[in-house]
Amino acid sequence: MNWLDLSSSAFIAAFFLYCFGFLFYVMAIAGRKWSHGDPVRHERKWGRIAFTVSALGLAAQLTFFFTRWIGQGHIPVSNMYEFMTFLGMAVMIAFVVIILIYRKPILGMVTLPLVIIIISYASVFPQEVQPLIPALNSYWLKIHVTTAALGEAFLAVGFAAGLLHLLRTVDFSSNTASAKKERFWLEATLFMLLVACGFIVSVFGFRMAGYEAEFKQETVDVTGAGQAVSETETVIYSLPPIVQPFNSTVIQADAFLGVDKPLAEAPSWMKGINAGRKLNTVVWSLLTGAVLYGLLRLIFRKRLSAVIHPLTTDIDPDDLDEISYRAIAIGFPIFTLGALIFAMIWAQIAWSRFWGWDPKEVWALITWLFYSAYLHLRLSRGWHGKRSSWLTVIGFVIIMFTLIGVNLVIAGLHSYAGTK
């Protein structure tokens, strides 16, 4: 067995351990109600089991990481698959640190699914070992990417605690406009997490089914000298085309549910590499997410937030608020160091300027500015509690956009980290 095979096995082990860790955390929290014994002892016992299993998962993922490092000869953070798995691992590390300080098993109930979503998302990207391009061949790759991801991981745990705080404090009985608005947005946040699941489910579903559709797309480009050049490209979809690329014709499309023709065409302003395919994927994710959401609603016959809310009532909301704030206070300096300072040092060495307003740089700055606004707002009393938790939700959206959205939507110097 070589290093890379060992690495893949360790990854699968980590994935399942995380899934079990999540189930045990749910047992620890939900089981308080229906276990016959003392609820505090029940939570402590199952919390310990859940923590052990999750920690074993982290150990397995560390094995995955280091064996892949040895196997491929350079640190596995150089493409989207490697980076996202690393981010998932970093969130686990941050989670372990925070839970060792605060010992609140309920945090695992939210953080573990987040980690599972992140590493499943990673698996959507090509997993082959790829050799380094010259721009990445620097020890700053190790330092910059790992530190930035660890900082973001703590901010993500801040989000997990903030979300829990909202699930705990949002008013489910009152009929005031503000309570309704809060319920709506909380449910929307959960829905977005399901859309992320929907993305993963649809990609893997159709990948297993071996689905493929092929298009010929004609694009007109304007060169630097102002001449229009038209090119034809073949675009391959691995999800059934609901939206076909702009200005394209079907070469071949497998039938799905008897339909083998696209239903719509991407608008012309959606430029960029594979814009049509990305739009199609977004549509599929939303659809699958909506189906998942609908199924869950059918099962529980309640808003999802209202399903989770009763599980959270045993914890003091102030504790959750503090955990969230603490995680962010820990993560912010790490993020500053990794995503800005180390990034500037590396940019100075590799690109001869420490700052160039590249989209990725700008979005790292936006993340930083957002969290510094968060920290300053906490100076005033009105921005503790719920409002501050909403900020952690927005902050998490910004982080995810910086990590994923920028690569998919905006091309820049960091585009080598994108998907194929």
- Give 118 or 266: the residue with its C-beta nearer to another protein: 266
| The one among 291, 410, 414, 415 contacting another protein by CB under 8 A | 410
Rounded CA gap, 215 and 232, in Å? 10
Q: Which residues pair with 305 in a beta bridge?
A: none
174 near another protein, judged by CB under 8 A: no
Which structure tokens are listed for 311?
Answer: 């599980």
Which residues, 295 to 314, sit near another protein by CB under 8 A? none
Q: How far is CA 25 from CA 164, 219, 328, in A?
A: 14, 51, 23
| Closest separation in Å from C-beta 160 to another protein | 17
Q: Which is nearer to another protein, 220 or 295 (CB)?
A: 220
Q: How far is the CB of 304 from another protein (least distance, A)?
A: 25
The residue type at 194? L
Is 58 or 315 the residue whose CB approaches another protein more closely?
315
Angle at 159 between CA 156 and CA 160, to 5 degrees: 90
- Half-sphere exposure for 163 (CA within 13 Å, toward CB): 30
What are the C-alpha distances in Å from 286 to residues 265, 305, 401? 17, 19, 17
Site for another protein in 389-408 (CB under 8 A): 406
The residue (of 36 and 381) whose beta carbon lies closer to another protein is: 381
Q: Choose between 279 and 406: whose C-beta lies nearer to another protein.
A: 406
For another protein, the closer CB: 70 or 369: 369
The DSSP symbol for 252 reads E
Instruction: Select from 183, 193, 319, 394 the one that contacts another protein (CB under 8 A).
Output: 319
* Site residues (CB under 8 A) for another protein, limited to 36-75: none
Number of other CB atoms surrounding residue 258 within 10 Å: 5
Taking CB under 8 A as the criterion, the residue among 62, 341, 393, 394 binding another protein is 341
Rounded Cα distance between 81 and 407, Å, is 13
255 vs 369, which CB is nearer to another protein? 369
Which residue among 56, 59, 192, 329 contacts another protein (CB under 8 A)? Answer: 329
Which of 97, 273, 282, 337 is in the footprint of another protein by CB under 8 A? Answer: 337
Binders of another protein among residues 8 to 37 (CB under 8 A) are none
CB 226 within 8 A of CB 216: no
Pull the structure tokens for residue 168.
């705990």
CA distance 277 to 375: 39
Identify the DSSP state of 313.
Answer: T
Q: 254 or 322, CB closer to another protein?
A: 322
Site for another protein (CB under 8 A): which residue of 30, 49, 62, 344? 344
Nearer to another protein, 258 or 352 (CB): 352
The residues in 358-387 that bind another protein, with binding defined as CB under 8 A, are 358-359, 362-363, 365-366, 369-370, 372-373, 376-377, 379-382, 384-387
Decide whether 31 or 317 has the Cβ nearer to another protein: 317
Separation of alpha carbons 365 and 342, rounded Å: 13
Q: Which one of 251, 271, 300, 310 is in contact with another protein (CB under 8 A)?
A: 271
Region class of 209: left (phi > 0), else alpha (psi between -120 and 50), else beta: alpha
For 360, phi and psi rounded to 5 degrees? -65, -40
Select from 39-47, 113-121, 184-192, 320-328 the region that touches another protein (CB under 8 A): 320-328
CA distance 186 to 307: 12
Adjacent-strand bridge partners of 228: 222
Interface with another protein includes 176 (CB under 8 A)? no
Q: Report the 10 Å Cβ neighbour count for 308.
A: 21
Q: Does 140 bind another protein (CB under 8 A)?
A: yes
Site for another protein in 191-230 (CB under 8 A): 222, 224-226, 228
Tokens of 372: 């510094």
Q: How many residues bind another protein (CB under 8 A)?
A: 72
- Collapsing DSSP to helix, strand or coil, 114 comes out as helix
Distance CA 342, CA 147 (A): 8
CB of 381 to another protein, least distance (A): 7
x-or-dash pattern for another protein, window 85-124, by CB under 8 A? ----------------xx----------------------
